Amino acid sequence: MKQMSKKYAIAVDARKCIDCKACMIACKVENGLPQGFWRNWIKDNDPNGGMHTQFQPGQCMQCDSPSCVSACPVGATFKGADGLVVIDPKKCIGCGNCVTACPYDARFRNPETAIADKCDFCHHRIKVGEEPACVETCPTRTRVFGDLNDPESEISKLLKSTKHIQIINPLINTRPNIYYTEQTALLNWPKEPTLPGNIHMSSQFWKGSS
Amino acid sequence: MPKDNKGGFTRRRFLKVSATATAAASIAGNASVLHALAPGTANGAEIDTTGMEKKFSVCDMCFNKCGLIARVDKGKVVKLDPNPKVAKSRGLLCARGNAGIQRLYDPDRLKTPLLRKGARGEGKWQQISWEQALDLAAEKLLKIGEKYTRCGTLFMAGSDMQSKFVHRFAEAYGSYNILSHESNCLLSRNRAFLDTFGVMPMPDVLNAKYVLMPGSNRFEALVTPDSIDLMTAMRKDCKLVVLDPRYTKTAALAHEWHAIKPGTDLAFFLAVMHVIINEKLYDVPFVENQTYGFEQLKRHVQKYTPKWAERECDIPFCDITRIARELAAAKPAAIVYPGRRTSDYTDSTQIRRANAMINALLGNWDQPGGLVLPRKIHLGSIPFEAPFYEDNPDDRIDMGRSTMMFDTEGSFKHARDAVIEGKPYPVKGWVTYKTNPMQTGANRQKTIKMINKLDFMMSIDVTMSDTAWMADLVLPAATYLERMDPVSVQQGISSGPCLVTRDPVVKPLYESKSALWIIKQLAKRMDLGEHFDFTMKDYRKAQLKGMPEAEAALKNDGVYQVGGNYAGLHKGFKTLSKKVELYNQRYAKAGIDPMPVYRPPKRVPTNRFRMVVGRNAYITQGSTTNNPLLHELVPENSLWIHPDSAIKLGISQGDRVTVSSSVGKQNIRAYVTKKTRKDTVYMHSGFGVLSKGLRTVYGSGACIVEILEDKNDDISGNMAMHETVVTVRKI
């Protein structure tokens, strides 16, 4: 793969998340999402209550080997020059193949636009030097956003100094760009993507991570 | 801003974009944000980020007043972003703050003055002009004044930067019956800490090594900067121990959660003192030099052993002993967290006194990681002399109903009783501004009873709250994004104090007006105009007199931040003994226990439950549940009930149940969960509304204050909302 000029990523310290859902409302307003649909989420490892609970935020993982891109029959979903997986609204036909192709359940079909929808790290904000809305608004700074190609960025330094892991279905590695501190509690939620029959995946896509 | 404050501007601007891009007024944004206003334009398309303005303001979705930057596109607010320069809010905006845009664009906004046509609470309204509304209000208030004295009207204003003008109006008009929301909230805490230290300290959570948090829920009931600082401290080396009958998210994230039996907090704290004193773990020089009554306290706590406390509060004695030792080992950077809402029990002041006393034993006074005094900023004002009305009664209507009330705050509970009884004198008028006692004052039927005693009730609010719903005249208030406000001092210990203010981000929608405008118009009609002979601009100028740097900072940064050390501000304890009063001499004289005495709570019979009050991070009591964005997070409330208790009553997950107490009942869905004790049930506030003007939330969930009995803290008159025992039945 050719070297992208940027490699945007988010590092999440789920131990800090207080489940305040500021990130979800910020995203919803920033991106004008319809009622009932969200581009990001907070998972919970202990819905019944116990002695400790961890809340784990997430969103589109902006994978390096994105199954959604492979699943798109018209090339509407693609990896842009800055490494972000984006959707071209003019090309998308709303077929929904990418929705089921995502192992992280990060996509949905937007009923207002009738096309695929998902987090794009607030591409329009990044372009003018602002952080994604979810990152900026977070009270406890659970998410750290930045460019992994810049060794001086906060996230590059963070990933170097603190052990982080990726959340991957053991059968499929889409090489996600959201990193979690190794203490993150929820690991087994990704699902196996279903891809249209005629899609040929690259060999590395199906390579197990374990 | 101090360099070590996280969330500084540099971190936000993570990319080195050109100076023009960051400095220019145009900022990034999505022109199609509010789908209600611009449907179907969202998503995917490259967004034009030029031409938008950014304007500073501060949030009003709760009392915290966090800094924000509103992005405005052609006169419409499209997004509220946090202002990273406001150290108090650490550059955050929570879910409610982000949803503030829907307070502005809520389709249920009050649009014109409304005059009641049908019976109270029937919901029949006539739109009238401001001229008619103000003439009518002035006439009614003057008439009540003539007939029942000026104190015959009660004024109640919520936590708002313009509430001071409502108070000023009340004083100019001649009533000292002025209430705030606080007697439904935190007065028992203030009473306790003032009666121990003589001043009201704040906890330096950021530098604490050990925080014992009784009944506070800092990760849901957000307080800036404490909520954020607590997490920052915990990620370093601070230990958090939570006592709560409920598994709140604060309990969920704490190092330890102890599901204390409701009403037994004092037993726990007396036992902690027993350990700290008997094992001589206290700060000896501080206790010897700075406290009064240590020997009495030592004798007093002898009988309160951890083994005894275990039987009272359902926490093993070894844990009580260990927590006491750990707390002492971490002193002076160890805090028993003072809390905020403490309207729990009839002895809440004594419970919080015990909290204050442990803090004193730890000697955590006036140093990092302990209880610290806020650095004051003195603002100017435009003074006025309230006229004297000869026929006025001697005192507030609620005075004397509890022993040590705050005469500036009063007690909603006592005032309501006094209005109903007509004693000591009749009160026939009520003016409310942005406060909603119909949703926050325990025993809603009693509030209705009170309202039915009135000749005239006027509510100024943004939407048709349940309180406005009961009024005779409803006036539409401008939201925080539409008005100019005075300057306000915001305290935060580790962040330092700051000044904030508001300028209109957009023009007021509909016919909504600011409180000051309304007050001035009324004053003019009532021959009180001389007390309001100023504009908001004049007022702000007077506040900032001699502080040109503050004026500039507010303009350029949206905040005037004052740094400097926060420890070392102690100037003496303003108590009778000039020391920390472990033994309170004034209490002894007034016939109150000078040291907290434990009295066990009433026993909760089998198959009945104690109801407790609280909230999550998406609800500010009754003021946010109609917000469409927040409503999506919590569309209705439910009754938390433990599985073992539910099974005995044949209740399954999601069943409809009736919850009833001696004062009322409500139907609600059951949430069967281990997140509450077997003897305790819980529901969020803000639901079960009566107002059909709140179309988003109307018909959802149950109203907690319909069920809560109105008990009060004996000392302060603060409401006591954890004293109600309820029955739960499957429908």
Q: Is position B642 within any domain?
A: yes
Chain A residues in contact with B45 by the CB 8 A cut-off are 89
Q: What is the mean pLDDT of residues B44-59?
A: 79
Say what the pLDDT of residue A82 is. Answer: 84
Smallest CA–CA distance, residue B16 to chain A, in Å, is: 7
* The pLDDT of residue A195: 83
Q: Residues B148, B426: contact at Cβ < 8 Å?
A: yes
Residues in chain B within 8 Å Cβ distance of A146: 14
Task: Count CB neighbours of B336 within 10 A.
Answer: 27
pLDDT tens, B351-370? Answer: 999 999 999 999 999 999 99
Judged against a pLDDT cut of 80, whether residue B179 lies above it is answered with yes
Helix-then-strand count for chain A, H and E: 6, 10
Residues of A in Cβ contact (< 8 Å) with B101: 29
Q: Kindly determine whether residue B41 and residue A52, on different chains, have CB atoms separated by under 8 Å.
A: no
Closest CA to B627 of B465, B515, B509: B465
B198 at A interface, C-beta within 8 A: no
Q: Which fold has domain A8-181?
A: Alpha-Beta Plaits (3.30.70)
Portion 159-198 of A in contact with B at CB < 8 A: none
**For testing contact with chain B, the best of A12, A15, A21, A183 (most B CBs within 10 A):** A21
Residues of A in contact with B95 (CB under 8 A): 20-22, 24-25
Residues B207 and B134 grouped into a single domain = no
Contact residues on chain A for B228, CB-CB shorter than 8 A: 139-140
Test A147 with B632 for CB contact under 8 angstroms: no
Whether B573 is covered by a domain: the verdict is no
Q: Does B507 touch chain A (CB under 8 A)?
A: no
Is the ipTM of this structure higher than 0.90?
yes
User: Is B74 contained in some domain?
Assistant: yes
Q: Which structural domain range is residue B507 located in?
A: 114-180+388-486+498-561
Q: State whether B161 and B229 are in the same domain.
A: no
| Token pair in block for residue B726 | 């309820």
Q: Is B117 in a helix, a strand, or coil?
A: coil
Q: Do A25 and B95 touch (CB under 8 A)?
A: yes
Nearest Cβ partner of B14 from A48, A113, A146? A146
Q: Of B507, B501, B506, nearest to B488 (Cα)?
A: B501
CB distance B573 to B579 below 8 Å: yes
Average pLDDT, chain B: 92
CATH number, domain at B415? Answer: 3.40.50.740
pLDDT of residue B143 exceeding 60, the answer is yes
pLDDT at position B28 is: 30
**Nearest chain A Cα distance for residue B222, angstroms:** 9
Per-residue pLDDT reduced to its tens digit, B308-338: 999 999 999 999 999 999 999 999 999 999 9
Indicate the pLDDT class of residue B51, thresholds 50, 70 and 90: confident
At residue B168, the pLDDT reads 98
Q: Which of residues 104-123 of A touch B (CB under 8 A)?
A: 110, 112-113, 115, 117, 120
- The answer to whether the Cβ–Cβ distance between A147 and B15 falls below 8 Å is yes
| pLDDT at residue B214 in the model | 97
Same domain, B217 and B346: yes
Chain A: closest CA distance from residue B325 (Å): 22
Q: Tell me, what amino acid is at B449? A: K
- Tens of pLDDT, residue by residue over B62-77, are 999 999 999 999 999 9
B271 & B323 share domain: yes
Note whether B211 and B335 are within 8 A (CB).
Answer: yes
Assigned domain for B586 exists: no
| Average pLDDT value for residue range B158-180 | 97
Please say if the pLDDT value at position B19 is more than 50. Answer: no
Q: What is the pLDDT of residue B42?
A: 38
Residue B37 has a pLDDT of 33
Instruction: Report pLDDT for B2.
Output: 36
Gap between the Cα atoms of B79 and A30, Å rounded: 6
Q: In sequence order, what DSSP letters do the residues of B460-521 get, joined into one string?
A: EESB--HHHHT-SEEEEBPPTTSS----EEE--TTT--EEE----SSPPPTT-B-HHHHHHH
Does residue B507 surpass a pLDDT of 90?
yes
Residue keyed to tokens 């109105």: B710
Give me the numbers of helices (H) and strands (E) for chain B, helices first please.
26, 29
Crossing angle of helices B130-148 and B515-525, rounded to 10° = 60
**pLDDT the model gives residue A203:** 55
φ, ψ dihedrals at B633, nearest 5°? -75, -40
Minimal-distance CA residue of chain B relative to A24: B95
Average pLDDT, chain A: 91
User: Does the beta-carbon distance from A29 to B93 stay under 8 Å?
Assistant: no
State the DSSP H helix or E strand holding residue B20, giving kind and residue range, or none if neither.
Answer: helix B19-23
pLDDT at position A2 is 52
Question: What are the C-alpha distances in Å from B582 to residues B211, B345, B547?
Answer: 21, 21, 41
| Chain B 2-21, residues with CB within 8 Å of chain A CB atoms | 6-7, 11-17, 21
Percent of chain B at pLDDT exceeding 90 = 90
Q: Which residues of A147-159 are buried (b: 16+ CB within 10 A; e: fewer)?
A: bbbbeebebbebb
Q: What pLDDT, on the 0 to 100 scale, is given for residue B47?
A: 61
Q: For residue B563, what pLDDT is reported?
A: 74
Cross-strand bridge partners of residue A87: A77
Structurally, chain B folds into a number of domains equal to: 4
Q: Which of B32, B99, B231 sits opposite A32 (nearest CB)?
A: B32
Backbone Cα Rg of chain A: 17
Contact between B90 and A139 using a beta-carbon 8 Å cutoff: yes
Q: Which of A51, A52, A124 sits opposite B30 (nearest CB)?
A: A124
Asked if the structure places residue B598 within a domain, the reply is no
Residue B98 is predicted with a pLDDT of 98
| Separation in Å, CA of B496 to nearest CA in chain A | 18
| B325 plus B216 within the same structural domain | yes
Buried-exposed string A161-200: b where 16+ CB fall within 10 A, e elsewhere: eeebebbbbeebbbbbbbbbbeebbbeeebeebebeeeee
Secondary structure element (H or E) that encloses residue B73, with its range: strand B67-73
Q: Chain A window 48-107: which residues touch B at a Cβ cutoff of 8 Å?
A: 48-53, 55, 86-89, 92
Q: Does residue B267 share a domain with residue B289?
A: yes
| Chain B, nearest residue to A140 by Cα | B228
Judge: B42–A53 Cβ closer than 8 Å, yes or no.
Answer: no
- Mean pLDDT computed over A4-24: 95
Pairing of strands B429-433, B456-461: parallel
Domain shared by B313 and B217, yes or no: yes
pLDDT at B49: 62
Task: Check if the beta carbon of residue B362 is closer than 8 Å to that of residue B332.
Answer: yes
**CA-CA distance, A27 to A122, in Å (whole number)?**
8
Q: Tell me the one-letter amino acid at B543.
A: Q
Q: Which pLDDT belongs to residue A50?
A: 75
pLDDT of residue B24: 29
Q: Which residues of A touch B35 (CB under 8 A)?
A: 32-34, 112
List the structure tokens of B712. Answer: 């009060």
Contact map slice: B 202-241 vs A, CB within 8 A:
219-220, 222, 227-228, 231-232, 235
pLDDT band at B5 (very low <50, low <70, confident <90, very high): very low
Q: What is the pLDDT of residues A156-208, one digit of tens each?
A: 999 999 999 999 988 889 999 999 999 999 999 999 888 887 666 655 555 54
Chain B nearest CA to A209, separation (Å): 30
* Amino acid type, B698: Y
Rounded alpha-carbon distances, angstroms, from residue B323 to B26, B317, B320, B681, B684 = 54, 10, 5, 27, 30
Q: Indicate if the pLDDT at residue B7 is higher than 70.
A: no
Contact with chain B for residue A14, Cβ under 8 A: no
Q: Are residues B410 and B547 in the same domain?
A: yes
The pLDDT tens digits for A35-59 are 999 999 999 998 777 778 999 999 9
Task: Tell if the CB–CB gap between A32 and B98 is shorter than 8 Å.
Answer: no
B242-295 pLDDT, tens digit each: 999 999 999 999 999 999 999 999 999 999 999 999 999 999 999 999 999 999
Q: Name the residue facing A129 among B22, B253, B633 (closest C-beta).
A: B22
Q: List, in sequence order, every residue forming a beta bridge with B718; answer none if it has no partner.
A: none
Name the residue in chain A with its Cα closest to that of B38: A32
Task: State whether residue A32 sits within 8 Å of chain B by CB.
Answer: yes
Domain ranges for chain A? 8-181
Check residue B43 and give its pLDDT: 43
Q: Centre a 10 Å sphere on the Cβ of residue A2 and count the other Cβ atoms it contains.
A: 5
Of B20 and B393, the structure prediction assigns the larger pLDDT to B393
Partners of B178 in the beta sheet? B155
The CATH number for B646's domain is 2.40.40.20
CB contact under 8 A, B252 and A140: no
On whether the CB atoms of residues B112 and B128 are closer than 8 A, the answer is yes
Tell me, what's the pLDDT at A81? 82
Amino acid at B611: M
Are residues A33 and B675, on separate chains, in Cβ contact within 8 Å? no
Average pLDDT (B176-199) is 96
A160 token code pair? 């170097």
Residue B296, token pair as written in the block:
């009495």
Instruction: List CB contacts (< 8 A) between A157 and chain B.
Output: none
pTM for this predicted structure: 0.93
Task: For residues B237 and B160, state if they share a domain.
Answer: no
Query: Among B29-38, B473-482, B648-657, whose mean pLDDT is lowest?
Result: B29-38
Residues B361 and B417 in one domain: no
Average pLDDT over residues A94-100: 94
**A-B contacts at Cβ under 8 angstroms:** 180
Return the beta strands (E) in B613-651 as ranges. Answer: 638-641
- B423 and B295, same structural domain? no
Residues B553 and B617 in one domain: no
Q: What is the rounded distance in angstroms from the CA atom of residue A145 to the CA atom of residue B525?
A: 57
Strands A143-147 and A8-12: antiparallel
Between chains, do B98 and A25 touch, taking CB under 8 Å as contact? Answer: yes
pLDDT over 50 (residue B340):
yes
pLDDT tens-digit map of B675-731 = 999 999 999 999 999 999 999 999 999 999 999 999 999 999 999 999 999 999 999
